[in-house]
Structure 1
Amino acid sequence: MQVRHKVWPFKWTITGLPWLSGPGIALAVLLVCFPFMLVDVPPLIDIPGHMGAAAIEAAGPNSPLGKYFAWRWVFTLNIGDGVLMKLIGARFGILAAGWWSTVLATALYAGGCLATIRMLNARGGHGAGWALIYVFSFPLLTGFLNYILATGISLTSFAIAVWLEKQPRKRAALLIAVQPIAMLCHAIGGLLLPLLIGANAVGREIDLLPQGWWRPSRFRASLAAHDWRAAAKRLAVLLWPLATTVLVIVLWKLFSPPPARSFNHWRWDEKEWYLILTLRDQSMILDAATTIACYALILFGWVIGGRWKWQQFLPGFLVLAEFVAIPSDINGSNFVDVRLLPVACMLLLGLQDWSRAGPRTAKVVAYTGMILLGLRLVITGASFADYAQDYRKQLVALQHVEPGSRVLAFVEHSCLEESWRNTRRDHLASLASIYRQAWVNDNWAVPGLHLLVPRFRPGRNFTADPSEFVWSERCAGGRLRSVDVALKYAPIERVDYVWLIDTGLPKRPDPRLQLVWQDGRSMLFAVRPLRIPNWQPRDF
């Protein structure tokens, strides 16, 4: 029997699946966001960097940050986190802005996934638990906040657009208003919205073709019997609002500053690796087993009754095709393609229709996915608590830093040769800009892509990300830059402190460095001033 639910902010008509009811979706989103309740700083690799940049943007005229950095708002398709943190931070502070921005983006990502499943696969969405596994995957765990925010907006808006199809004016108004917002948050995440809208519309038209139209013996007759004019009219009504995305791209090309790196690069080995690594988190065994199970369900689910209509299959398939086709690096932005793989898997799993499978099979699929999701969320929550403790331990170093100082930071970058579990300390040094109003060499500053402009440049290649990265000898056979090599060429005489995060003690002590704090493999050194008569250091 069909059940009618009333759910804020509008009425949904559908479903007997409790996890796709309004309360079910709300509960699932809360559970997915629960690990963030255990932390002050979300332990996602890039989030401290986003928070440090927000502190620089919010710095007042008397802040020392003003002499170290400038902030220039420009028209670029990568400013979602900057705007959101500015709005929240003005009222609640930068730490709260970083936390709330991450939680809101995650909630939109998970909620948009479930809302999409509800609108396109209400009776057969038994794979919803499997789909939600891909919320805590490579893009979110890396802290690609702009992308997650844009993707969450795209998925949520797509679901609402499907619901509004019988009200074309409201639907068009929604799409015209939302597309620029999603695109300004992040270009690739924003482009998902027109891609999903188009895939859904074309897939529905294919489903309306006579049954068996694809068979050679019936192909011509089936196509001749189809009302192509009506199909073209339906597509025009559904797709014309997507011209807004084209307009945004044109305006971006006209008014955005030219990129510093105008090259595109395909990394085919990276695409292959991330078929395995996209669910990398805490346990290699669990992550590998989950990945194999998810791919098996996508590829072989039809054996036990899983099906797709074209309307359900094309959205995920076209996102997967985009993952294969687009470059890995675009104009200074890296990992552009592999961010799409989790969304493709999420859609293929969630929109796989199990309504025609046996009831017992469908229940097994549903509850297996939920159990696996629950297990991974428990492990994620426990890891968040561990990361929070580690962050607090590392940040004790900042208690020994004078406000307004210049801190040259080096952090040991995680690699697979050393550990499956990522330390997520890569951009921890950026928090010095929040807690000590200090300069640090950890910020993103690619012209045409980022809004931050360094004013203080202590030395070539030691001004912004990735100058903070060093590697252990076990990474790439010792061929990558070690902490000793980094210190050898670092402009130590032009900074006040050197902060080594999990690098271990350098093999070659530098007489200019005086140890002021140490905890395990992390330490903070004060720089002793050079005793040269009549010489003053120049900062600018």
Structure 2
Amino acid sequence: MIHAPELVAHEAALAASPKGAPRPWWEGRPFVVAMILLAFVPFLWPSIPPVVDLGGHMGRYKVATDLSTSPYLHKWFQFRWLPIGNLGVDLLVVPLAKLIGVEPATKLIVMSIPPLTVAGMLWVAREVHNRLPPTVAFALPLAFGHPFMFGFVNFALSMAFAFLAFGLWLRLGRLGKSKLRALLFVPISFVIFFCHTFGWGTLGLLCFSAEAVRQHDRGHSWWMAIIRAAYHSMAMAGPVLFLLLWRSEATGGVTARWFDWGFKWEYLLRMFRDRWETFDIASAAIALAVPLFALIHPRLILSRNLAFSGLVLALTYVLLPRIVFGSAYTDMRLVPYAVAIFILAIRFKAETRFPLATWLAVAAISFMLVRLAGTTASTSIAWARQKEQLQALDHVPLGSRVAVLVWDGCERWSLRRSDHLGALATVRRDAYTNDHWPMAGSSLLTVRYPDAGWFQRDPSQIVRDRGCRHEGWAIETALDYLPAPAFDYLWLLDMRPIPRAWVDGWTPVWAGEGSILLRRADAGARPPAKPQTASAPGR
């Protein structure tokens, strides 16, 4: 049986560099600072981070910020704060927006999520290995994985905090400060829970699995180690009370699509899904291959601590359904973070071999830089298109009712950034649009505009050609059923060419690449108010 002091000495020896060797560059503070700062780069230029769902989130921030002062928003929206596990970015953006406006506040908070995630990954690796392994940079681009680029910003923020908290949990455990850890993780668990329930659950799994390994390494049997790990993890159980209260009041949210193996395999390939299919799938293959390479290489191994945590997350991914309480893509969200844990687990079996370590570090940094350059180019392309499309709002009067239709080309790999771009009409023009998503038990926003019928909320804005795998309106069907008197404007985004007869009764007002704005022919033409900009005080 190995006692704790002996184990610590043994583990430290495994991670050590040869005696008298200089500190490798990938272990120094300049490397850490550089990795964190580089994660800011992809969103420096865009005024609005071009991630898929963000427009809808921003519409909610706008309502929360200006509902009491706007003469228009109260006609269609209600907003009330609730103690639910889905508040992360809202709690940060709304008060900041009162000072600098919704758009700058959103950019500042959202662009900070990847650097926070990178910092958390680096801390976790440092605590487990007593130093940063040369392969650590292979994991860092996963901070820009598919869930983040899809716009699950509350979830992504909670996962960034979860990784940072996991690093703190490991550190306090290594220092033997279990009582202090228990005290600190009571409030920490509540903070992460209110960011997003998923992050809190993931943190619990990470801390429990790591503690089980630590307790076993201290000489306890696996059964006793699991029991003791559960006891220590109880410090994070407080939010269960809020979870039970929240879900008991929620109605209408279904849980479905268990063990959908086709999608689970696709989500592994899509962990980097952004714009270029070959590039993204190749990146996913590299991320999956790196831990496998460590398993077969004679000088490398996976830390039992993080490998066990990775296995727990992998099992959770297998068991999770695709839809939980009406929230889709539940299992998909876990993929990049589980893969990151396996990559962070890589270490040398014995002393660090500098020729191999240097080669691995260069390869990892190259992968990080190439992925970062691709993400930066993709966001720049997306923002250039969105910036042109948003010129349509200069022709929309304040307080208008705008029907938005976005064409979904079937089975395209490139993420469609326009799904909720229409909600920017709410942000900039205090307008009603049909792409907000009040969801039972998880949203603070309520939409009330019965005249719009089926066009009250998301996903009524998504239209597809017949025969697409995913459900949705056909374009002509949506236009046939659109209650024209309920809207002043029709905004078509990324629309393929359609017959003019399909929009009979609507008069074109403005057109640009990928965007056309039409006004209802029998609606009184109101001159647009002076355009509001992202820098306007108080917006």
- TM-score category by the smaller chain? 0.7 to 0.9
Residue in 2 aligned with 1:526? 519
| Contact map agreement 2:84 2:243 (CA 8 A) in 1 | no
1:286 shift after superposition: 2.0
Residue in 1 aligned with 2:177? 167
Could you report, residue by residue, the CA deviation over 1:230-266 in whole angstroms, capped at 9, with x for unpaired residues? 9689647733413324344344346xx3232243332
The one-letter amino acid paired with 2:38 is L
Could you report, residue by residue, the CA deviation over 1:296-346 in whole angstroms, capped at 9, with x for unpaired residues? 222232222331232121111111111111111011100011100111000
| Contact map agreement 1:124 1:353 (CA 8 A) in 2 | no
Aligned residue among 193, 203, 206 for 1:196: 206
Residue in 1 aligned with 2:99? 91
Residue in 2 aligned with 1:105? 113
- 3-state DSSP class of the match of 2:477? helix
Residue in 1 aligned with 2:474? 482
Determine what percentage of the aligned residue pairs are the same residue. 27
Residue in 2 aligned with 1:28? 35
Residue in 1 aligned with 2:262? 269
The one-letter amino acid paired with 1:242 is M
Matched, 1:456 2:464: no
Residue in 1 aligned with 2:491? 499
CA distance in 2, matches of 1:247, 1:344: 27
1:104 shift after superposition: 2.6
Residue in 2 aligned with 1:8? none
Consecutive unaligned residues of structure 1, counting only runs of 5 or more, are 3-14, 210-225, 532-540
The one-letter amino acid paired with 1:97 is A
| Contact map agreement 2:26 2:361 (CA 8 A) in 1 | no
Residue in 1 aligned with 2:527? none
CA distance in 1, matches of 2:458, 2:203: 31
1:89 shift after superposition: 1.1
CA distance in 2, matches of 1:40, 1:391: 10
| Contact map agreement 1:276 1:291 (CA 8 A) in 2 | yes
1:158 shift after superposition: 1.1
Matches within 5 A, 1:374-413: 374-413=369-408
The one-letter amino acid paired with 2:186 is I
Residue in 2 aligned with 1:223? none
| Contact map agreement 1:472 1:503 (CA 8 A) in 2 | no
Aligned CA distance change for structure 1 residues 132 and 20 (closer, same or farther; 3 Å): same
Matched, 1:129 2:124: no
Aligned residue among 191, 194, 215 for 1:205: 215
Could you report, residue by residue, the CA deviation over 1:46-90 in whole angstroms, capped at 9, with x for unpaired residues? 111111110011123343111111112223211212212112212
Aligned CA distance change for structure 1 residues 484 and 262 (closer, same or farther; 3 Å): closer
CA distance in 1, matches of 2:85, 2:227: 32
Could you report, residue by residue, the CA deviation over 1:440-485 in whole angstroms, capped at 9, with x for unpaired residues? 00101112121111122333321111110012468449x8533222
1:492 shift after superposition: 1.3
1:497 shift after superposition: 0.2
Matches within 5 A, 1:212-223: none
Matches within 5 A, 1:206-245: 206-208=216-218, 235=229, 238-245=232-239
| Contact map agreement 2:48 2:106 (CA 8 A) in 1 | yes
1:276 shift after superposition: 1.0
CA distance in 2, matches of 1:244, 1:352: 33
CA distance in 2, matches of 1:161, 1:270: 33
CA distance in 1, matches of 2:410, 2:114: 26
Aligned CA distance change for structure 1 residues 67 and 236 (closer, same or farther; 3 Å): closer
Aligned residue among 291, 296, 319 for 1:298: 291
CA distance in 1, matches of 2:307, 2:71: 53
Residue in 1 aligned with 2:424? 431
The one-letter amino acid paired with 1:185 is C
Could you report, residue by residue, the CA deviation over 1:256-284 in whole angstroms, capped at 9, with x for unpaired residues? x3232243332332112111112122322
Aligned CA distance change for structure 1 residues 124 and 81 (closer, same or farther; 3 Å): closer
1:227 shift after superposition: 7.4
Matched, 1:139 2:147: yes
- 3-state DSSP class of the match of 2:61? helix
The one-letter amino acid paired with 1:316 is G
Matched, 1:183 2:175: no
1:364 shift after superposition: 2.1
CA distance in 2, matches of 1:434, 1:24: 39
Aligned residue among 42, 49, 53 for 1:42: 49
1:530 shift after superposition: 7.5
CA distance in 2, matches of 1:530, 1:312: 62
- 3-state DSSP class of the match of 2:450? coil
Aligned CA distance change for structure 1 residues 23 and 172 (closer, same or farther; 3 Å): farther
Aligned residue among 338, 343, 346 for 2:340: 346
The one-letter amino acid paired with 1:238 is H
Aligned CA distance change for structure 1 residues 525 and 289 (closer, same or farther; 3 Å): same
The one-letter amino acid paired with 2:111 is V
1:414 shift after superposition: 4.9
- 3-state DSSP class of the match of 2:509? strand
Aligned CA distance change for structure 1 residues 120 and 378 (closer, same or farther; 3 Å): same
CA distance in 2, matches of 1:82, 1:48: 13
Matches within 5 A, 1:75-90: 75-90=83-98
- 3-state DSSP class of the match of 2:269? helix
CA distance in 2, matches of 1:248, 1:21: 42
Residue in 2 aligned with 1:537? none
Aligned CA distance change for structure 1 residues 236 and 432 (closer, same or farther; 3 Å): closer
| Contact map agreement 1:332 1:449 (CA 8 A) in 2 | no
- 3-state DSSP class of the match of 1:125? coil
**TM-score of the two chains, using structure 1 as the length reference:** 0.86
| Contact map agreement 2:50 2:417 (CA 8 A) in 1 | yes
Range with greater deviation from structure 2 (183-192 or 19-28): 19-28
Range with greater deviation from structure 2 (34-43 or 159-168): 159-168
CA distance in 1, matches of 2:449, 2:157: 31
Residue in 1 aligned with 2:12? none
CA distance in 1, matches of 2:191, 2:41: 27
CA distance in 1, matches of 2:108, 2:513: 32
| Contact map agreement 2:274 2:280 (CA 8 A) in 1 | yes
CA distance in 1, matches of 2:367, 2:270: 18
CA distance in 1, matches of 2:226, 2:81: 42
- 3-state DSSP class of the match of 1:118? helix
| Contact map agreement 1:124 1:354 (CA 8 A) in 2 | no
Range with greater deviation from structure 2 (111-120 or 506-515): 506-515
Could you report, residue by residue, the CA deviation over 1:402-428 in whole angstroms, capped at 9, with x for unpaired residues? 110000000122543xx4322311111
Aligned CA distance change for structure 1 residues 236 and 323 (closer, same or farther; 3 Å): closer
CA distance in 2, matches of 1:128, 1:320: 20
Aligned CA distance change for structure 1 residues 473 and 201 (closer, same or farther; 3 Å): same
Aligned CA distance change for structure 1 residues 167 and 206 (closer, same or farther; 3 Å): closer
Aligned CA distance change for structure 1 residues 259 and 230 (closer, same or farther; 3 Å): closer
The one-letter amino acid paired with 2:435 is D
1:176 shift after superposition: 0.4
Residue in 1 aligned with 2:17? none
Residue in 2 aligned with 1:12? none
Residue in 2 aligned with 1:156? 164
CA distance in 2, matches of 1:306, 1:340: 26
1:208 shift after superposition: 4.5
Aligned CA distance change for structure 1 residues 400 and 236 (closer, same or farther; 3 Å): closer
The one-letter amino acid paired with 2:442 is L
The one-letter amino acid paired with 1:198 is F
C-alpha RMSD of the superposition: 2.5
CA distance in 1, matches of 2:518, 2:247: 46
